[in-house]
Structure 1
Amino acid sequence: MVKLDDGLKIWLDAYNQGVAQLMQSGYVATVEAIRDGLSNLTAACVTDSPDIARVLDTSVAEQTQMIPVRIYHPAPDRPLPVIVFLHGGGHMAGSVAVYDPICRKLSKTTQHIVVSVDYRLAPEWPYPHGLADARMVIGQLWSLLEQHQFAYVPALTLAGDSGGGAMAATLSADYQEHPDVRINNQVLIYPSLDYTMSQPSVTENGKGLFLQQDKMQWYFDQYFQHGEDRQAASPLFMSKSARMPRTLMITAEFCPLRDEGVAYVQQLSALGVHTEHFHLDDMIHAYLNLESLVPMQCGATYQKIADFLNTSMNC
């Protein structure tokens, strides 16, 4: 029988009670509060931050735009394949700094170079500014690594969680027919793939399970400010071909985004794209940011990503 993790349930009960008390006091969420909330939660719950042999803060620039990135190389004496990582936060929150321990774990476990992108956030920078920043980094990726003398293998994985997963999937679709940019793999961690919010799990899991349906709607309203076609912008509804990258989909049973992840895997599988689906029956959205509560599930997730990527290198 599918059941929410017991420790997570205790934490959720306390969390929901605290949110209810805030609402009763007249609290109104602000962008700053959302950002501080994700930062504080991650700092409190992801306390194991492994040492990485080389970590560099640098940037990618084009004309007047500069995009900060943080590069992690776990074995500088060896050329390694590369992950471009796009953090979650509903396109409104998160940063390279907030996701530093998660990227360190990803780099160490997978033995990949991780390039974490500090893309611009809504509402100050709505759609499609963050995607443009990610494209800029991808376009200059190999020259950036050469400039800073990182030993690398020119094999590229796009990875992201939640809103960052949406961005990774969007970019994979954009680049599937590109003559000069090849995305070898994508790793989508409970990604947001349907901006129309039309999948059944949105309502099934949209209350009391951390990621709220009404909060998702608010995030998307901040992101899409100019009447964009949200269906066309959704990776679930984008045109796909057999040239899409190998895909690892990670979903959680009690996540509002569960069903869009399942539907996306079915689409790619029907096209003959190599897909793997790692589903956790007892988890909620954003569980990687809650690691101290669910360390075994987080450890299994990082290991699954490593197995998926390192198997691909031998194909």
Structure 2
Amino acid sequence: SAGGNLSAVVAQAFRDEGRELAGQLLIYPGIDMTSGYPSYAENGHGYFLELPTMKWFSDNYVGDADRADPRLSPIKGNLEGLAPAVVVTAEFDPLRDEGIAYAKALESSGVPTTYRHCDGLIHGFFAMGHLSQAAQLAIEETCALFRTVLHG
């Protein structure tokens, strides 16, 4: 989530600096600090990542800064010309709808984008492969998708 945010911001910065980037791997990214999406209400309690925790993180990270600044909410930035992306979301994740919105925004901006939704999984599943066969399968599929971005 935070890593997806930072990666999306770095992808924009690299493009702006004329630096080449092979691809973006955005796993349940938090990319919009300006509004709540329906998945916040649907999945904001009882599924590992909870709304009070999200609020604490964002308040401490953002402080008094403008939440619409693309360095905090990369979905608000210019997305044209970014590196190809793989965007992954989980069904029971408050950030699910942000990831979907970002994948659509990337596609609308002409960025080659592969979107992967993981049914039945929660935020953080990428660290849970040793605990869940479904998580491990999603990890392997995600890595295969990104391998294709990197190596064709």
For normalisation by structure 2, the TM-score amounts to 0.89
Q: How many Å separate the matches in 2 of 1:194 and 1:286?
A: 18
* Greater than 4 Å deviation, 4+ residue runs: none
Q: How many Å separate the matches in 1 of 2:95 and 2:11?
A: 19
Q: How many Å separate the matches in 2 of 1:166 and 1:314?
A: 24
Question: Aligned with 1:253: secondary structure?
Answer: strand
Aligned residue in 1 for 2:146: 309
- Could you give the per-residue CA deviations for residues 54-75 of structure 1, whole angstroms, max 9, x where no partner exists? xxxxxxxxxxxxxxxxxxxxxx
Aligned residue in 2 for 1:190: 28
Q: Does 1:284 align with 2:122?
A: yes
Higher relative contact order (CA 8 A, sep 6+): 2
Q: How many Å separate the matches in 1 of 2:139 and 2:126?
A: 9
Q: What is the letter of the counterpart of residue 14 of structure 2?
A: Y
Q: Does 1:170 align with 2:9?
A: yes
Q: Does 1:263 align with 2:112?
A: no
For normalisation by structure 1, the TM-score amounts to 0.45
Q: Deviation at 1:235?
A: 1.3
Larger Rg: 1
Aligned residue in 2 for 1:214: 52
Contact 2:130 2:136 in 1 (8 A): no
Aligned residue in 2 for 1:151: none
Question: Aligned with 2:100: secondary structure?
Answer: helix
Contact 2:89 2:96 in 1 (8 A): yes
Aligned residue in 2 for 1:293: 131
Aligned pairs for 1:1-315 (under 5 A) are 162-179=1-18, 181-225=19-63, 227-232=64-69, 233-241=72-80, 243-294=81-132, 296-315=133-152
Identify if the C-alpha distance between structure 1 residues 268 and 197 changes in structure 2 by more than 3 Å, giving closer, same or farther.
Answer: same
Q: Deviation at 1:260?
A: 0.6
Q: How many Å separate the matches in 2 of 1:313 and 1:292?
A: 26
Across the aligned residues of Structure 1 and Structure 2, the Cα RMSD in angstroms comes to 1.6
Question: Aligned with 2:17: secondary structure?
Answer: coil
Identity of aligned residues (%): 33
Q: How many Å separate the matches in 2 of 1:184 and 1:240?
A: 15
Q: How many Å separate the matches in 2 of 1:257 and 1:213?
A: 10
Between Structure 1 and Structure 2, which shows a larger proportion of helix residues? 2
Identify if the C-alpha distance between structure 1 residues 306 and 231 changes in structure 2 by more than 3 Å, giving closer, same or farther.
Answer: same
**What are structure 2's unaligned runs of at least 5 residues?**
none
**What are structure 1's unaligned runs of at least 5 residues?**
1-161
